[in-house]
């Protein structure tokens, strides 16, 4: 299987009040196409920063971040935004849905960046909602949905443009156990049946157990599960 | 959902606030439409014809110090005077049109001699002279109201009641005149017979509002004006004389001043609205920082997010302006009869284009700051703040 993510010598440093803070320190990481990786670690260990690097939301201080065959460290502005739209689906802990839009319209958002017709966009959004089991809630606004349903809508939005990688930041962090399990089962289906590569940051060992591989970050450095 | 559907959905986020902002802009451009049109009427072209005529008016006030009719004969006796004709301001409302045209009591033959460029058929002028309740109107005014010669024109006076206290004056239309190069639009005089007017009115008998003097040599008009004022300087009714050009220019300047005041009011209103809309837009933008960050994460480029913010501002401003100007047009149609005496009441395409252009510029201006900030939003920071 091909490597869909290949990170080499990644450093990320912030400067705060004259102080230099190394958030990620010489990270090497490879994920195969169709892989399912869980990233764990204490708060401030750099998990979300690494996730942001993979998702093209943040740029490294040093090193290369090859995702879907592109060194995104070299992409900027519009090209980076366009790359993100085509390749990455984001799932956030607090869903980040637009309150003013229905579930279907929230899912349609990434398709506004494509050349698809309005009818085709609607059709795809409904299909994505069907995949996550929420076709019957298409017209509901976020305020009318439960936490688990909101996360399903967010997942539908993350896969509607057929993105290859789902980048999930604590996707079950705001859910009760039952809802969290449903979301984790859904993600597993997306991984196995729809061949989505999933990178998930989590504090939840139960969630991490669904992944094929679990890596721990501590003080900006990666350690394999066995070392953790 | 279309791109604009998303844009309107965002505008509907705080419906009450959006509507209030929209209504502010509507009111602003309603004022714009009304004031520009009315201001345009006050600063429109005024005929400067008649360099060979002098206007002799009361030194202090036409209302409180009218001139005695005898001044007219004294003026005729002056060397260099080719003719003199007095006139007065009758006022009065025609049917439901209000002050639809100026009604001026004149001595027919004398007046048309002084205004020799006005064309009237000799037989109609003679009939006017011999018909005490007669009146002549410009052809344009007659066409405007569908008058035919022989019609009775009722006018309700608001300055001069009749001796019996009645305010209803009725005049028989006996002739039509044409004026060359007319620039007055609807504001063309309706002449009535002075003798009948003076005899029938309750007060101010034997007085006139002003006297037009036709000079033999226009080059000596200024000198003659000084002589006229000197002639009446020690009388109970001193005069102020100027050439018709000066008189019109002064009138135009006063009207121009009104236009300036209108523009100043507009500027103040716009500035207030600008601050209000800018404040609302920035407040709305702040509340949506998280959403904008999410859009960028989903692949919306900096430019696209900035354009979205800018379009919202443009839709709000240009939409409000279009509604406001449309309403002003509807209102102007309603009040047209009341303003008709100042000239043609119309919302010109130039005003319409100016209004929409200003609205677009306003939209760009108030949307610019949020749009620039939206473009430069660091996604990671915004998402971190959102949780």
Q: How far is A99 from chain B (nearest CA, A)?
A: 8
Could you give the CA distance from residue A42 to residue A44 in angstroms, rounded to a whole number? 6
Name every chain A residue with its beta carbon within 8 A of the beta carbon of B13: 99-100
Among the partner residues A78, A99, A109, nearest to B298 by beta-carbon distance: A109
Instruction: Kindly state the average pLDDT of the residues B241-265.
Output: 72
How much is the pLDDT for B149?
94
How much is the pLDDT for B42?
58
Lowest-confidence region among B47-56, B60-69, B229-238 = B47-56
Residue A202 lies in a domain: yes
Name every chain B residue with its beta carbon within 8 A of the beta carbon of A109: 6, 295, 298
Q: Does residue B221 share a domain with residue B129?
A: yes
Cβ contacts of residue A17 below 8 Å, gap of 6+?
Answer: none
Residue at a domain's end among B245, B260, B288: B245
Instruction: Kindly state the average pLDDT of the residues B258-264.
Output: 73
Q: Tens digits of per-residue pLDDT, B119-170?
A: 999 999 999 999 999 999 998 889 888 999 999 999 998 889 999 999 999 9
Tell me how far apart the terminal alpha carbons of chain B are, to the nearest angstrom. Answer: 27
Smallest CA–CA distance from B297 into chain A, residue: A57
Residue A208 lies in a domain: yes
Domain that holds residue B132: 53-245
Residue at a domain's end among B245, B271, B292: B245
Instruction: Kindly state the average pLDDT of the residues B320-328.
Output: 90
CB contact under 8 A, A96 and B294: yes
- Nearest-CA neighbor of A4 among A207, A147, A157, A196? A196
Does the pLDDT at position B300 exceed 50? yes
Interface of A with B in 146-205 (CB under 8 A): 157
| Paired residues of A198 in beta bridges | A36, A166
- Render A21-57 in DSSP notation, one character per residue: EEEEEEEEEEEETT-EEEEE--TTSSHHHHHHHHTTS
Q: Does residue B371 share a domain with residue B297?
A: yes
Q: Does residue B230 share a domain with residue B104?
A: yes
How much is the pLDDT for A224?
66
Mean pLDDT of chain B: 84
Confidence band for B49, pLDDT divided at 50, 70 and 90: very low
How distant, in Å, are the alpha carbons of B83, B89, B204 from that of B208?
16, 8, 8
Q: How far is B384 from chain A (nearest CA, A)?
A: 10
Confidence band for B252, pLDDT divided at 50, 70 and 90: low
pTM for the whole thing? Answer: 0.65
CB contact under 8 A, A84 and B297: yes
Q: Does residue B132 share a domain with residue B36?
A: no
How much is the pLDDT for B207?
93
Tally of structural domains, chain A = 1
Q: Does residue B172 share a domain with residue B295?
A: no
Tally of structural domains, chain B = 2
Give the long-range contacts of residues B268-272, CB within 8 A, separation 24 or more.
B269/B28, B269/B31, B269/B32, B270/B28, B270/B32, B270/B358, B270/B362
How much is the pLDDT for B46?
43
How long is chain A? 228
Q: Does residue B162 share a domain with residue B267?
A: no
How much is the pLDDT for A228?
47
How much is the pLDDT for A134?
87
Q: Tens digits of per-residue pLDDT, B34-43?
A: 877 766 665 5
Does the pLDDT at position B192 exceed 90? yes
Q: Does residue B287 share a domain with residue B174?
A: no
Residue at a domain's end among B226, B245, B264: B245
Q: Mean pLDDT, consecutive 10-residue segments, chain A of 228 residues?
A: 86 85 88 92 88 90 90 88 91 88 93 90 92 90 91 91 90 86 88 90 89 89 65
Q: Does residue B314 share a domain with residue B198?
A: no
Residue A26 lies in a domain: no
For chain A, say whether B45 makes contact (Cβ under 8 Å): no
Smallest CA–CA distance from A79 into chain B, residue: B301
Name every chain B residue with its beta carbon within 8 A of the beta carbon of A101: 1, 6, 9
Which range has the top average pLDDT, A167-176, B265-274, B283-292? A167-176
How distant, in Å, are the alpha carbons of A101, A171, B276, B310, B355 from that of B324?
29, 48, 17, 21, 10
Among the partner residues B9, B10, B301, nearest to A78 by beta-carbon distance: B301
Helices (H), chain B: 3-11, 15-42, 70-76, 108-114, 122-130, 139-145, 194-200, 221-232, 244-287, 289-298, 302-339, 349-375, 379-386
Q: Does residue B379 share a domain with residue B361?
A: yes
ipTM (interface pTM): 0.89
Q: Count other C-beta atoms under 10 Å from residue B376's C-beta.
A: 10
Q: Does residue B227 share a domain with residue B288?
A: no
CB contact under 8 A, B301 and A81: yes
Name every chain B residue with its beta carbon within 8 A of the beta carbon of A86: 299
Domain that holds residue A142: 34-44+78-227
Among the partner residues B3, B10, B299, nearest to A82 by beta-carbon distance: B299
How much is the pLDDT for B210?
93
Q: Tens digits of per-residue pLDDT, B135-147?
A: 999 988 898 889 9
Q: By the 8 A CB rule, do B385 and B289 touch? A: yes
Confidence band for B260, pLDDT divided at 50, 70 and 90: confident
Q: Does residue B24 share a domain with residue B86?
A: no
How much is the pLDDT for B83?
93
* pLDDT: which is higher, B305 or B385: B305
Q: Does residue B97 share a domain with residue B175?
A: yes
Name every chain A residue with its beta carbon within 8 A of the beta carbon of B379: 57-58
Could you give the CA distance from residue A21 to residue B384 in angstroms, rounded to a whole number? 17
CB contacts < 8 A (A, B): 76
> CATH code at A180?
3.40.50.300
Q: Tens digits of per-residue pLDDT, B69-95?
A: 999 999 999 999 999 999 999 888 887
Residue A98 lies in a domain: yes
Q: How far is A226 from chain B (nearest CA, A)?
A: 30
């Amino acid at each position: 299987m091909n490597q869909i993510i290949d990170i080499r010598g990644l450093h990320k440093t912030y400067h705060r009040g004259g102080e230099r803070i190394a958030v990620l320190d010489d990270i090497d990481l490879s994920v195969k196409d169709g892989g399912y990786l869980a990233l764990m670690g204490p708060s401030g260990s750099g998990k979300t920063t690494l996730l942001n690097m993979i998702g093209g939301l943040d740029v490294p201080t040093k090193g290369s971040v090859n995702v879907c065959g592109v060194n995104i460290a070299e992409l900027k502005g519009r090209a980076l935004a366009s790359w993100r739209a085509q390749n990455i689906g984001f799932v956030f802990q607090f869903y980040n849905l637009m309150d003013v839009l229905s579930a279907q319209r929230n899912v349609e958002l990434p398709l506004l960046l494509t050349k698809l017709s309005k009818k085709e966009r609607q059709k795809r959004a409904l299909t994505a909602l069907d995949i996550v089991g929420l076709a019957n809630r298409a017209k509901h606004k976020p305020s009318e949905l439960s936490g688990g349903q909101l996360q399903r809508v967010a997942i539908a939005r993350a896969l509607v443009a057929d993105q290859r990688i789902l980048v999930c930041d604590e996707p079950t962090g705001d859910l009760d156990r039952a809802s969290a399990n449903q979301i984790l089962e859904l993600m597993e289906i997306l991984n196995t049946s729809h061949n989505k590569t999933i990178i998930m940051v989590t504090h939840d060992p139960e969630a991490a157990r669904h992944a094929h591989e679990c890596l721990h970050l501590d003080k900006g450095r990666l350690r394999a599960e066995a070392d953790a | 959902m279309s791109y604009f559907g998303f844009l309107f959905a965002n505008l509907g986020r705080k419906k009450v606030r959006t509507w209030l902002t929209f209504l502010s802009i509507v009111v602003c451009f309603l004022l714009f439409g009304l004031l520009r049109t009315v201001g345009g009427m006050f600063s429109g072209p005024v005929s400067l014809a008649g360099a060979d005529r002098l206007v002799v008016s009361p030194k202090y006030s036409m209302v409180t110090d009218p001139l005695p009719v005898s001044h007219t004969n004294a003026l005729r006796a002056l060397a260099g005077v080719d003719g003199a004709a007095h006139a007065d301001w009758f006022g009065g409302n025609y049917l439901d049109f209000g002050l639809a045209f100026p009604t001026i009591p004149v001595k027919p033959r004398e007046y048309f001699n002084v205004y020799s460029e006005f064309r009237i058929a000799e037989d109609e002028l003679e009939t006017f002279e011999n018909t005490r309740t007669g009146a002549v109107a410009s052809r344009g005014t007659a066409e405007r109201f569908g008058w035919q010669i022989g019609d009775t024109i009722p006018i309700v006076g608001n300055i001069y009641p009749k001796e019996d206290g009645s305010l209803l004056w009725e005049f028989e239309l006996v002739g039509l005149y044409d004026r060359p190069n007319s620039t007055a639009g609807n504001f063309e005089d309706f002449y009535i017979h002075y003798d009948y007017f003076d005899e029938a009115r309750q007060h101010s008998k034997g007085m006139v509002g002003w006297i037009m003097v036709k000079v033999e040599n226009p080059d000596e008009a200024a000198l003659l004006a000084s002589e006229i004022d000197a002639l009446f300087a020690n009388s109970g009714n001193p005069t102020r004389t100027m050439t018709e050009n000066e008189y019109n220019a002064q009138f135009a300047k006063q009207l121009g001043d009104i236009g300036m005041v209108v523009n100043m009011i507009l500027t103040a209103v716009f500035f207030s609205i600008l601050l209000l809309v800018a404040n609302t837009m920035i407040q709305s933008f702040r509340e949506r920082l998280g959403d904008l960050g999410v859009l960028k994460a989903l692949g919306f480029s900096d430019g696209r997010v900035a354009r979205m913010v800018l379009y919202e501002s443009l839709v709000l401003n240009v939409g409000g302006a279009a509604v406001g100007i449309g309403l002003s047009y509807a209102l102007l149609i309603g009040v047209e009869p009341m303003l008709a005496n100042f000239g043609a009441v119309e919302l010109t395409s130039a005003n319409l284009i100016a209004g929409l252009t200003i609205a677009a510029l306003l939209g760009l201006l108030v949307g610019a700051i949020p749009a620039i900030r939206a473009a430069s939003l660091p996604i990671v920071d915004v998402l971190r703040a959102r949780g």
